[in-house]
Structures are given as structure tokens and as C-alpha cells.
């Protein structure tokens, strides 16, 4: 009898789950006119499958048309077959149209999310859908808030995922993930378990399977609901502030251009309108974002910090700075131009954008592309993390263009795009580097000086000392480039350290990744139960490091973190949590301080770019 009672309770729970999800879907699409097309994005997992089943039930009763989209990222063998299976389930549920959308991307949560969003929105636009339903649950929202909280995000990010985001709607943000699985059981549907959801190489998987269960166990139940509730409260506050910031931006922009950006492009985390928009400042018929936005300095000073930083962020996004790369550090440096003016140099932002102060205005402009402001292609100095102000010992403000990777073609392009100083009223370059005669003759520009490096390594060492107080740390250097960083860092630390080295490669004989990682030199001792800090010279795409971290986690360390001197945010193609970052630099090929070209230049005490002659000599 007890067994029968438990079974009955399970059936009742499953039926309640079906009802809960159907009610959520009904409320989400209640405003749509009869005959409207509603699409559901379905991976075949429990969340999206339960959502699809609910829409298939509700749509005909609301005189709505329903279609299904499934995205194939091509991450594993058999992904196309799995997408075809999902499509077949969709047709069996009565969806029409049903489409499989190829959206191959690097093995990165961020890259996959962007590729998936782009594919889904493109399909929704082509099909003239009135709504596109996504299966994010309350648990997904809680994980999002927790991840962004750990990264030190502001209220916009902590507000989590919105219920309504243009054509996108998320009906299940009040529904627990367990309910979607119960609903699938009640409806006789077998959900697919995506293997990436259990792959702890991804930060979200670690939060899902480790962090949230520990919080529930140690603090008590209800953590996920509390985090989701926090997101709702912050989103209401953020929406109000963003609306005020939009009005302030329109008032302070000089001169006022014709702009037509979607609200969610600037107020959420999406990019500005792409080619074909009227965001250029020249009115209809122009394409792409404006090359430059000027903001009235006197007006910015009168704004509260919350509004001022939003206005500055909006200007950077409007000009074309990548929202995924534009972080609090960048916005804070822009705000220093307004509130802590000391004659500092222009501030480099992601995607070849620069912000500077001159003639009673803050000017934000592109330094790359055919319509870049100023004289030709320019470059920006690196941004140091963890300090409240910009270093005064940087090289002159130059940008090495935007070539990606380390191929010979991109190296030559980098050398050819070395610019003159930034050329707009009152912004000089300034330099406190030695004369060119005292530098290596093959170096075109010095991006990070010896003083910058020494100062930043000292700051990083202080952070590591504080974080690992009372513990011994195993420094794991990745050969060969990390030798310089490892040596200087180890001498600056005061905590007990031991050192190990590994050498891995994914480059074969070419200068681009072969996609196959090999261990050239393994560790000499076990790291089980040890606090391990991986030391890198530079993180470019991050693909090799991502593989290495998965390999190291399988060896059972007590903790595993990453420290890198340099990072190229715009080149990242893998989802990596990097705890300690020295400098963010443009996506240009650099040498010095451990970094080489054809095994040369490692011993230079600074980081810089090569001139054309040096690149061509090294290629022979």
C-alpha cells in the first residue's frame, strides 16, 4: 500500500507539473492575436521539451499557429542526428513549421549562446513569428545570478534573464527544473540529457552540480527561489535607471544624431543594430553604428554615478564596442575621465573603440574600420585589472589593429596597421618610454612596459597572498612562455610555494590550432589534494587552456585557479574562469617577456608588436 501511495503521489505531482507549465505558457502568450505564429526553441532536454508540449496543447485552443526550432551546434558526433530526432518529435506534436538550424560555434558557453541567439532570431524574423519561447527555468535564472555575482557584475547583469526580450519570451522563469522533468514523464515524453550539462569544464555545470546543492545544504532550502526573486527586483530597478539613462544620453549627445537602436540592444546585453540600421548618425540610408559619439562633459558631471556610467556604457555600445567584452573596469576608466581627471590618456575599449576627454566633451569613437574617427587605424593600451586607476607608465596610446591568431598574414597586417597618435582635438599621445634607439630594432610599438609588468605582478602577488593565506600553493607553469611570469611571481609571493611545469601544444607545425592537444611534458608529481594555480603568459583563444583545465580537474586537486599576465578578450573562444588577470590587450600578435616569434624575443623585458621586416625575416 505504501508503494502504491508513493506512486499515486508521483502521478499527482506530474499532473500538477503539466498544469503549472501550461498555465505559464498561456499567460506568456495571452496578448497575441489569433493567427499569430509562436515558435518554441527545443533542444530535446526536459525544460524545452515540456515547454514544447505545453505550447502544442495551448496554441490550437488560442487559435495560434505553433512552430518548433532546434539548433545544432555540432559539438559532438551525432549532434545532427539528435537535432533530427527533436524535429521529428516536433512534427509528431503537430508543430508546423519545424526547422533545424545549424549554428556551429567554438566549444564555449558564451560563443554557443551568441550563435544560438542569432540563429533563432534570424529564423523568427524570416518566419515573421510574433513570439519565440525559450525554456529557461527558475533554476537557470538562479544559476545566472550566482555566476554573475561571482564575476562582480552590476545590477544589469544580476537582474538575470528578462521574461520579455523583444520577440523572445521565457514563460518558465517561475517553474523549477524538476517540474519540467515531471511534466515530460506525465506526457510520455523522453527528454534528452545534453552531455555538456554535466561537463564541469563549463562554469554553469559546476554551479549547478556543486555550488547550489552546497548552498541549499548549508544555508537551507529556497536559495534558488531567493536568487530568482533578487533578479526580478533588480530588473525593475535597472529598467527604471536605464530609461532615465536613455533620456540623459539623448540630451547629452553632441550633436544629436538619428539613432534607432532596439531597447534590448543597449539596455540588455545585446550588440547595437548592425548594418542597415539608422544608428550611424547620418540618418536613414547609412549602415552600421556611428563612428563617434560626443557627450557634453558639463552635463555628465551633474548626473549621479548610476546614470553617468550607464550613459557612458550606452555610448560605447552605440559606437560598436562588444557588449560581451565591455566590463566594469572599462566603464570605471571612462568615468574617471569625467570625475577624476588628471590629464590621463584615452581609455581603450573592446572592439577597437577608444574614449577620451577634450574640449568640454567625452568622445567615444572607433579606431578600426573604414569609417574610424581620427587619422587611420590606431591602437589602445592594455587595461590593468584590480587597480582603481590607470597606470601612468603605459606606452603611447596605439592600437595594433584587430588581426586574430598568430598566422603570418595577421602578423604582417598587425605591423602595417601601426598608427600615428590619436588625432582629435586636445588628445595627445604622451610617452614615458625610452627613445626608440634604446628599444629592440624589431619592435614596432611597446604595449606593456617593464614598469607596468613589475607593478602589476606585485599587485597580483598581493592578491594571491591574501587569497591563499595559511596554505601552500603549487604554481604550475605552462611552458615555455610562462617562465618569466612564473619566476617573477614566485619571488613576489610571501606564502609557501612549490613549482611544477607542463608543456602542451595544439599547434602542430602550423601557427593556428590543429584542434588536437598533446602533452609534451607532464607533471613530475601528483596534484591530488593540492591548491594549484596555473600560471600563463597569455590567453588568446583559450581552447588549449580549457582542455588543460579539464585534464587537471580529473586529477583531483583541492582547488584549481588560473593567473595570466595577458588576455585578449575579443579572441576568446572558450569559456574559462580566470581569477587573476594582469592586462587585457587588443587582438594583435605580441612578443616579449616570454612570448616569442620563431623562438625569438622571449627575453625582452616588455611586451610589444613586431615591425613588418622582423615578421618577414622570421617567416623565412
Q: Closest by alpha carbon to 41, among 144, 138, 117, 140?
A: 117
Average pLDDT, the chain: 78
pLDDT(374) > 50? no
Is there a catalytic annotation at residue 602?
A: yes
Return d(Cα 554, Cα 524) in angstroms, integer. Answer: 16
Edge-first strand listing for the sheet containing 361-366: 253-254, 292-296, 361-366, 353-358, 347-349
Place of cell 523572445: 168
Looking at domain 9-234, which CATH architecture does it have?
3-Layer(aba) Sandwich (3.40)
Is there a catalytic annotation at residue 589?
A: yes
46 labeled part of a ligand binding site: yes
The cell numbers describing 359, all together, are 574640449
C-alpha neighbours within 13 Å on the C-beta side of residue 242: 20
44 labeled part of a ligand binding site: yes
Return d(Cα 106, Cα 134) in angstroms, integer. Answer: 22
Q: Closest by alpha carbon to 523, among 496, 550, 551, 497?
A: 551
Report in angstroms the alpha-carbon separations of 130 from 59, 121, 284, 429. Answer: 13, 11, 26, 51
Return d(Cα 358, Cα 549) in angstroms, integer. Answer: 45
Q: Closest by alpha carbon to 119, among 138, 102, 94, 144?
A: 102
182 labeled part of a ligand binding site: no
pLDDT(183) > 50? yes
Count CB atoms within 10 A of the CB of residue 454: 13
pLDDT given at position 245: 93
Q: Closest by alpha carbon to 49, among 187, 191, 182, 171?
A: 191
Among candidate residues 540, 561, 575, 584, the one labeled active-site is: 540
Return d(Cα 128, Cα 35) in angstroms, integer. Answer: 12
- Residues of the chain within CATH 3.40.50.620 domain(s) are 9-234
33 labeled part of a ligand binding site: no
Q: Which residues contact 312 (CB under 8 A, 6 or more apart)?
A: 295, 300, 331, 334, 335, 338, 355, 362, 364
pLDDT(287) > 70? no
For the domain spanning 443-507+515-619, the CATH number is 3.40.50.2020
pLDDT(587) > 90? no
Strand 580-584 and strand 361-366: pairing? unpaired
Is there a catalytic annotation at residue 465?
A: no
The SS3 of residue 292 is strand
pLDDT(320) > 50? yes
Among candidate residues 57, 365, 501, 589, the one labeled active-site is: 589
Return d(Cα 115, Cα 135) in angstroms, integer. Answer: 17
Among candidate residues 242, 445, 452, 537, the one labeled active-site is: 537
Among candidate residues 536, 561, 575, 584, the one labeled active-site is: 536
Contact yes or no for 358/424 (Cβ under 8 A): yes
pLDDT(537) > 60? yes
Categorize the per-residue pLDDT at 575 as very low, low, confident or very high, splitting at 50, 70 and 90: low
- Could you read off the pLDDT of 491-534 as tens digits, one per residue? 999 999 999 998 887 644 333 444 467 788 888 889 999 999 99
pLDDT(620) > 90? no
Across 16-30, 382-396, 405-419, 540-554, least confident range = 405-419
48 labeled part of a ligand binding site: yes
- Could you read off the pLDDT of 108-150 as tens digits, one per residue? 676 778 889 999 999 999 999 999 999 999 999 988 888 877 7
What value does the mean pLDDT take over residues 367-386? 49
582: enclosing H helix or E strand: strand 580-584
What value does the mean pLDDT take over residues 450-468? 88
The SS3 of residue 149 is helix
pLDDT given at position 204: 79
Q: Which residues contact 458 (CB under 8 A, 6 or more apart)?
A: 492
Return d(Cα 484, Cα 492) in angstroms, integer. Answer: 13
Q: Where are the alpha helices (DSSP H) in 498-590?
A: 543-553
What value does the mean pLDDT take over residues 562-568? 89
Categorize the per-residue pLDDT at 395 as very low, low, confident or very high, splitting at 50, 70 and 90: very low
Of 435 and 180, the structure prediction assigns the larger pLDDT to: 180
Of 36 and 524, the structure prediction assigns the larger pLDDT to: 36
Edge-first strand listing for the sheet containing 580-584: 383-384, 580-584, 559-567, 531-539, 473-478, 497-505, 518-521
Return d(Cα 52, Cα 97) in angstroms, integer. Answer: 13
Among candidate residues 16, 244, 602, 616, the one labeled active-site is: 602
Contact yes or no for 412/595 (Cβ under 8 A): no
- Residues of the chain within CATH 3.40.50.2020 domain(s) are 443-507+515-619
DSSP result, 39-57: EEE--SSHHHHHHHHHHHH
pLDDT given at position 499: 93
43 labeled part of a ligand binding site: yes
Amino acid at each position: 500500500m505504501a508503494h502504491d501511495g508513493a506512486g499515486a503521489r508521483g502521478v499527482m505531482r506530474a499532473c500538477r507539473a503539466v498544469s503549472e507549465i501550461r498555465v505559464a505558457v498561456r499567460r506568456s502568450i495571452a496578448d497575441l492575436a489569433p493567427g499569430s505564429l509562436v515558435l518554441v526553441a527545443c533542444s530535446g532536454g526536459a525544460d524545452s521539451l515540456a515547454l514544447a508540449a505545453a505550447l502544442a496543447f495551448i496554441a490550437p485552443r488560442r487559435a495560434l499557429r505553433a512552430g518548433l526550432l532546434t539548433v545544432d551546434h555540432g559539438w559532438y558526433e551525432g549532434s545532427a542526428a539528435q537535432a533530427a530526432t527533436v524535429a521529428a518529435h516536433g512534427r509528431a506534436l503537430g508543430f508546423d513549421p519545424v526547422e533545424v538550424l545549424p549554428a556551429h560555434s567554438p566549444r564555449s558557453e558564451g560563443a554557443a549562446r551568441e550563435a544560438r541567439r542569432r540563429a533563432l532570431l534570424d529564423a523568427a524574423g524570416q518566419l515573421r513569428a510574433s513570439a519565440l519561447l525559450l525554456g529557461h527555468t527558475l533554476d537557470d535564472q538562479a544559476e545566472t545570478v550566482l555566476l554573475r555575482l561571482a564575476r562582480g557584475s552590476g545590477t544589469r547583469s544580476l537582474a538575470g534573464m528578462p521574461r520579455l526580450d523583444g520577440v523572445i519570451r521565457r514563460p518558465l522563469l517561475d517553474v523549477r527544473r524538476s517540474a519540467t522533468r515531471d511534466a515530460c514523464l506525465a506526457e510520455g515524453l523522453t527528454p534528452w540529457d545534453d552531455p555538456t550539462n554535466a561537463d564541469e569544464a563549463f562554469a554553469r555545470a559546476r554551479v549547478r552540480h556543486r555550488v547550489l546543492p552546497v548552498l541549499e545544504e548549508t544555508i537551507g532550502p529556497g536559495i534558488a527561489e531567493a536568487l530568482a526573486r533578487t533578479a526580478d527586483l533588480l530588473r525593475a530597478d535597472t529598467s527604471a535607471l536605464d530609461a532615465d539613462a536613455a533620456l540623459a544620453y539623448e540630451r547629452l549627445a553632441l550633436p544629436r544624431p538619428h539613432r534607432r537602436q532596439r531597447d534590448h540592444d543597449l539596455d540588455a546585453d545585446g550588440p547595437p543594430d548592425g548594418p542597415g540600421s539608422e544608428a550611424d548618425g547620418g540618418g536613414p540610408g547609412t549602415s552600421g553604428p556611428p563612428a563617434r559619439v560626443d557627450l557634453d562633459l558639463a552635463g555628465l558631471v551633474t548626473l549621479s554615478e548610476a546614470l553617468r556610467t550607464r550613459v557612458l556604457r550606452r555610448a560605447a555600445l552605440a559606437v560598436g564596442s562588444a557588449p560581451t567584452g565591455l566590463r566594469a573596469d572599462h566603464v570605471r576608466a571612462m568615468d574617471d575621465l569625467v570625475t577624476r581627471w588628471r590629464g590621463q590618456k584615452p581609455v581603450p575599449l573592446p572592439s577597437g573603440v577608444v574614449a577620451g576627454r577634450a574640449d568640454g566633451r567625452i568622445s567615444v569613437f572607433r579606431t578600426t574600420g573604414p569609417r574610424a574617427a581620427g587619422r587611420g587605424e590606431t591602437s589602445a593600451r592594455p587595461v590593468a585589472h584590480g587597480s582603481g586607476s590607470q597606470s601612468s607608465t603605459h606606452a603611447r596610446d596605439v592600437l595594433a589593429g584587430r588581426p586574430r591568431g598568430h598566422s603570418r598574414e595577421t602578423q604582417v597586417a598587425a605591423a602595417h596597421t601601426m598608427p600615428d597618435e590619436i588625432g582629435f582635438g586636445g588628445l595627445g599621445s604622451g610617452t614615458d618610454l625610452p627613445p626608440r634607439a634604446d628599444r629592440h630594432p624589431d619592435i614596432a610599438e611597446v604595449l606593456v612596459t617593464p614598469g607596468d609588468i613589475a607593478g602589476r605582478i606585485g599587485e597580483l602577488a598581493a592578491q594571491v597572498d591574501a587569497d591563499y593565506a595559511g596554505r601552500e600553493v603549487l604554481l604550475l607553469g605552462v611552458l615555455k612562455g610562462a617562465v618569466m611570469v612564473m619566476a617573477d611571481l614566485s619571488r613576489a609571493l610571501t606564502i609557501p610555494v612549490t613549482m611544477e611545469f607542463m608543456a602542451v601544444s595544439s599547434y602542430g607545425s602550423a601557427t593556428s590550432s590543429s584542434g588536437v592537444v598533446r602533452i609534451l611534458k607532464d607533471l613530475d608529481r601528483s596534484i591530488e589534494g593540492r591548491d594549484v594555480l596555473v600560471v600563463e603568459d597569455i590567453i588568446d583563444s583559450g581552447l588549449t587552456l580549457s582542455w588543460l583545465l579539464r585534464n587537471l580537474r580529473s586529477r583531483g586537486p583541492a582547488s584549481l585557479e588560473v593567473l595570466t599576465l595577458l588576455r585578449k578578450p575579443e579572441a576568446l573562444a572558450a569559456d574559462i574562469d580566470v581569477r587573476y588577470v594582469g592586462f587585457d590587450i587588443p587582438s594583435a600578435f605580441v612578443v616579449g617577456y616570454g612570448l616569442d616569434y620563431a623562438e625569438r624575443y622571449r627575453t625582452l623585458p616588455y611586451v610589444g608588436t613586431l615591425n613588418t621586416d622582423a615578421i618577414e625575416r622570421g617567416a623565412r
